[in-house]
Amino acid sequence: MHEYFRTNEGRARVSAFLDIEASLTGRRWIGPAPQLDRTAEAMAQATGLPYPVCLVLARRGVAPEGAEAYLAPALRDLLPDPRSLLDMEKAATRFLTAVERRERIAIFADYDVDGGTSAALLIDWLRQSGREATLYVPDRIDEGYGPNDEAMATLAAAHDLIVCVDCGTLSHGPVAAAKGADVIILDHHLGGETLPDALAVVNPNRQDESGDLAHLCAAAVVFLMLVEAGRQLREAGRKGPDLMAMLDLVALATVADVAPLIGVNRAFVRQGLRVMARRERPGLVALADIAGMDSAPAAYHLGFLMGPRVNAGGRVGRADLGARLLASADPFEAQAMAERLDQLNAERREIEAGVQAAAMAQAEARGLDAPLVWAASDGWHPGVVGIVASRLKEAANRPAIVIGFDGEIGKGSGRSISGVDLGAAIQKLAGEGLLLKGGGHKMAAGLTVTRDLLEPAMARLSELLARQGAGTGGAADLALDGLLMPGAATTDLIAQLDAAGPFGAGAAAPRHVFAQMQITFAKRVGERHLKIRFGDGTGPQLDAIAFGAFDGPIGPALEGHGGKRFHLAGRLELNIWRGRQTAQLRLEDAAPG
């Protein structure tokens, strides 16, 4: 448990867990709140579940009587009625009409993972129904985000129906330019006061929606439209494609687009990972193999191995490559595209490294304790500014914006922290005339700004984010879920903790501390990583791996421990080696014991 004391400014401040005000990495450790602790203990007594599992459930607001259902989420119980979304029935009906009449269909998709998976869902469904569609993905540099007048007019001249996925909600002009074709928009980005004159705009973040499904990514919205299409087909006495087999794509989009893993999103990802493990989709199989995945897919793989490679085409290469890979039915074609995306991802990392170093130096000089952390410069590649913004966000625990200028126009991308709606703030900024354009969703957004308005725009954005609470948390706070002993870190406990997942945005993975541990083995792995074994000196020992340990102070301190004891913090995971599963700690931080 932790206690509270008053600061000089009169605000309540939580005392540091284990009195660690500054760990080896300079972070302040924060343990579970007393009320959360008590709730978890009561749940453990009522359910018989391990206390660490109950703490995760208590953090999610799960009551003891709901624990069993939460640990085994059923899609059939959590799937919302597609018709609860405005325009959904109209969109599905028009889509089916186009299929039945063999009309010419075009799919206009965003260039990121969410757009690519959304397009692949539609292409897969249409292919199984004996139909084809034209895929159009705009070039990030030449065309920018979303529909544009020229592309939409060209598509409309050759197609009867255009389906915009993961984009289009703010595209009034381009939709109007699509003369002669009907336009359906399936999106999740924040809507404006008015909507484009499309046949249907299905978006849980329309201003006239309830907001109950605001956590859905675009691929989930597309999936719900296909659910509605399936219902209409059944009512007509026909059968559509197997939608459950398409959840691998929805899972990838949900994790990669940093959608909060709550409600139906949990079920999408849990079921989607099971589908992915069957290795039936050539594009995902090729992607997993090129990324070196040697175990069953988990949310981590989607967010850090597969997602970046799908995104690489839209960032530094051919914009439609990721979508075409995900939609591919040919294993040989998929392998070739996966290899190309892997090469592009390596190129992206090189470009990113240079921008990140410069942006971090600029942000640090400006200060990392403000409500907004930002950096801007000439020539920064627009394909990496979003990733670098994510790195700044992680370093400062603040919303972050990174902008690359080409002449007098800067294009930027931002990433936010839990509880701070960046998309709404940026859209407000655009409405006030400080941005040429801007929008997005809570956790990520894009913007275009002129050089002369950069400073006032960032000052105003910082003010808007401060009102939402940005900047109140410590830049170096590390949230922890309490203490564990090495003997309690078993494969069974890891399995039970995993049942409370998947973990990611809006559902942080549990992080535990092993206090006053003796290090009995330490070995450098490669140039940067560290493998250790530790225990309390009397009971079982536990292995740990610290990736990138020698990029900072953890590696040298633990490798040269000299018999000193340490508090070790990290996340439990399974280590699979030659078919044998053991528990290990993924070490993230440490402090002298």
Angle at Cα 242 formed by Cα 239 and Cα 243, nearest 5°?
A: 115
Helix (H, G, I), strand (E, B) or coil at 208: coil
* For residues 96-106, average pLDDT: 98
Where helices occur in 380-438 by DSSP H, the ranges are 385-396, 422-431
Q: What is the pLDDT of residue 2?
A: 41
CA angle centred on 42, ends 38 and 44, rounded to 5°: 115
Residue 474: its pLDDT value, please? Answer: 65
Identify the pLDDT of residue 576. Answer: 80
d(CA 571, CA 505): 16
Separation between Cα atoms, residue 419 and residue 351, nearest integer Å: 31
Q: Which amino acid is at 444?
A: A
470-506 pLDDT per residue, tens? 987 765 688 999 999 999 999 999 999 999 999 888 8
C-beta atoms surrounding 485 within 10 Å: 15
Instruction: Report which secondary-structure segment, H or E, holds 252.
Output: helix 247-256
Mean pLDDT of 179-196: 96
pLDDT tens sequence across 266-278: 999 999 999 999 9
Q: What is the C-alpha separation between 471 and 549, in angstroms, rounded?
A: 28
End-to-end CA distance of the chain: 18
Query: What's the sign of the alpha-carbon dihedral 387, 392, 394, 399?
Result: negative
Residue 570 pLDDT exceeds 70: yes
In this prediction, residues 172-200 reach a mean pLDDT of 97
Q: 204 preceded by cis ω (within 30°)? A: no
List the alpha helices (DSSP H) in 432-561: 454-467, 491-499, 554-559
Q: Decide if pLDDT at 353 tops 90.
A: yes
Average pLDDT of span 88-99: 98
In tens, the pLDDT along 56-91 reads 999 999 999 999 999 999 999 999 999 999 999 999
Measured distance CA(222)–CA(124) in Å, rounded: 12
The predicted-structure confidence for 115-159, as pLDDT tens digits, reads as follows: 999 999 999 999 999 999 999 999 988 898 899 999 999 999 999
Q: What is the pLDDT of residue 288?
A: 96
* C-alpha–C-alpha distance, residues 539 and 541, integer Å: 7
Domains parsed from the chain with CATH numbers: 4-31+480-592 (2.40.50.460), 78-343 (3.90.1640.30), 367-467 (3.10.310.30)
Is the CB of residue 482 less than 8 Å from the CB of residue 569?
Answer: no
Residue 91 · residue 186 · CB < 8 Å: yes
Segment 433-449 shows an average pLDDT of: 93
% of the chain exceeding 90 in pLDDT: 85
Choose among 568, 494, 490: nearest CA to 535. Answer: 568
For residue 5, the model assigns a pLDDT of 35
More confidently predicted of 555 and 294: 555
Q: Which two three-digit tokens encode residue 502?
A: 């998947």
Quick one: pLDDT band at residue 11, thresholds 50, 70, 90? very low
In this prediction the pTM is 0.88
User: Is the alpha carbon torsion for 430, 436, 439, 445 positive or negative?
Assistant: negative
Q: How many residues does the chain have?
A: 593
Residue 16: strand, helix, or coil: coil
Residue whose C-alpha is closest to residue 289's, from 219, 349, 346, 336: 336
Alpha-carbon gap, residue 502 to 321, rounded angstroms: 28
Give the residue from 435, 371, 364 showing the smallest Cα distance to 403.
435
